[in-house]
Amino acid sequence: MKLRQFFPLAFFAFAGVVAAQTTLNVVTAGDQNMVDYVNNYLAPKFEAMNPGVKVRAVGTGPGDGGSQKIYEKLSAQQKAGSAEWDVDVAVIHQLASATMVNEKLLMPYRNDISAGKLVSRDTAKNALGANVDGYVLPMFHSQIAFAYNPDLVKSPPKSFVELNEWVKKNPKQFGYNGVKGGMSGVGFVTGWVSAYSGLSEKLEKGPYDATSAAAIDRALLGLKDFNQYVVMTPGNAGTLDMLNRGEIAMGPVWVDMFYTWQADGRLNPKVKLSLPSPGLPGQPMYYVIPAKAAHAALAKKFIELAESPDVQADGIVKQFNWYPGIDPQFVQPKLDQAAWNKLFTDISPADLSKYGRPFPLSPYFKEIVEGYERVVLK
């Protein structure tokens, strides 16, 4: 057994023995910063508000694989017929949420908490085409956007069409990381296909239709031509590195990574962001409560706190540079102007809701990334 898997079990075992107090088990997919966020930021606040309650956060690893582990754990407990499941709150990706709602592993809870009324984006109801209405609340949104150096690019392209013209006038100044080097490149490719296939609605909302393949391939053929004028970067961080060294003038990046790097002094503070039409994808992480969570009432209180405008402002936006999970209009009054400006100067909340798009439905998603290898790379 790997150490990583051992620790969560050890935690649970330990918690069982000494639980003179109630333990709220929070299991989160994603990178270590997610666990840190719960342990160091949310847990102390929640424990102070609820004496006798201890919050335990456990991470299951980055990417959809992390969510898959949570799914497997809950699914096993469901099949075993357990009356109480040992996960109270889970934080998962969109893909897994659809499966888990479908298999009745989750409890609808949005209408039970007041913060449920503060969410505005479509992602609270729709996860890559699956109806998850009521079962999820977005913890935060992350977004892919173009980062550009304003010293070299006076007015960044406002759309994919303008970008296509721009790279031909400025060859080798735009860089992205393909589909094998991280999600910012994948997001750029799905954004390109949305823009050039004329299928953008269908890719996001479905229904899946195999005959769309021809239109997707046509869009990818255009990307093959586009690729002759751009630089391929080594990974999400590679794009930021090359921007910082002035080797490229523009490229798609994750917004939270961008701000974190700037805050750490790893990225030229002059570099700015822009979100082109018809949009680039982003994705939320969801708070969910398992259908038979042992402490469902406490779990709801926990999410109530996590989704409150104060926590969304200070924790999600200010400290971790994510976009809020709830509607930004409830978050702005809680932030000082500087913190707010940092997140929304380059991309206004209006642009974000207009051009911040979901990833395509999973069958389309697969078709696009496979098509990229078949059409663009060959």
Partner 1 sequence: MALALIVPALAVVTLFFVAPLAMSVVVAFRGKGGGITLEHFAKAFDYYSTDLLFTLAIVVLSTLLIGGVAIAIAGYLTLGGNARAVAILRWLYRWPLFIPFVVAGQVMRTFLAKNGMLNHVLIGSGLIEPLSAQSLLDWRGIVIAFVWKQAPFVTLLLAGAMASLETQHIEAARNLGARRLRVLVDIVLPQVRGTLLVGLVLSFVTMLSVLSVPLMINPNSPTMVTVDVAYRINTHGDYPVANALCILSLALSAIGAAFYLRHASRASTAAT
CB of 173 to partner 1, least distance (A): 12
Nearest to 262 by CA among 317, 321, 316, 311: 321
- For residue 4, state whether it binds partner 1 (rule: CB under 8 A): no
Residue 77 or 190 with smaller CB distance to partner 1: 190
Spell out the SS3 assignment of 9-42.
Answer: HHHHHHHHHHCCCEEEEEEECECHHHHHHHHHHH
- For residue 317, state whether it binds partner 1 (rule: CB under 8 A): no
- For residue 16, state whether it binds partner 1 (rule: CB under 8 A): no
Overall residue count recorded for the chain in this entry: 378
Burial class of residue 283, CB neighbours in 10 A (0-12, 13-18, 19+): buried
Per-residue x/- track, 355-374, partner 1 (CB under 8 A): -----------x--xx--xx
Residue 298 or 376 with smaller CB distance to partner 1: 376
H-helix or E-strand spanning residue 362: helix 362-371
- For residue 224, state whether it binds partner 1 (rule: CB under 8 A): no
Q: Contact with partner 1 (CB under 8 A): which of 232, 278, 314, 363? A: 232
Contacts of 147 (CB under 8 A, 6+ apart): 239, 240, 243, 250, 251, 252, 253, 258, 271, 272, 273
CB of 369 to partner 1, least distance (A): 7
CB of 120 to partner 1, least distance (A): 31
CB of 1 to partner 1, least distance (A): 16
**DSSP letter (8 states) at residue 135:** T
Q: Contact with partner 1 (CB under 8 A): which of 247, 319, 342, 351? A: 247
Total residues in contact with partner 1, by rule CB under 8 A: 24
Report the site for partner 1 in 265-294 (rule: CB under 8 A): none
The structure tokens listed for 352 are 């974000």
Angle 139-91-365 (CA atoms, 0-180°, nearest 5)?
A: 85
**Can you say how many angstroms the Cα of residue 220 is from the centroid of all Cα atoms in its chain?**
25
Report the site for partner 1 in 37-66 (rule: CB under 8 A): 63, 65
- For residue 214, state whether it binds partner 1 (rule: CB under 8 A): no
- For residue 242, state whether it binds partner 1 (rule: CB under 8 A): yes
Contacts of 88 (CB under 8 A, 6+ apart): 24, 25, 26, 289, 290, 293, 294, 295, 296, 298, 299, 302
d(CA 102, CA 13): 30
Residue 38 or 368 with smaller CB distance to partner 1: 368
Per-residue x/- track, 178-207, partner 1 (CB under 8 A): xxxx--------------------------
CB–CB of 326/120 below 8 Å? yes
Q: By CB under 8 A, name the binding residues for partner 1.
A: 63, 65, 177-181, 231-232, 234-235, 238, 241-242, 245-247, 366, 369-370, 373-374, 377-378
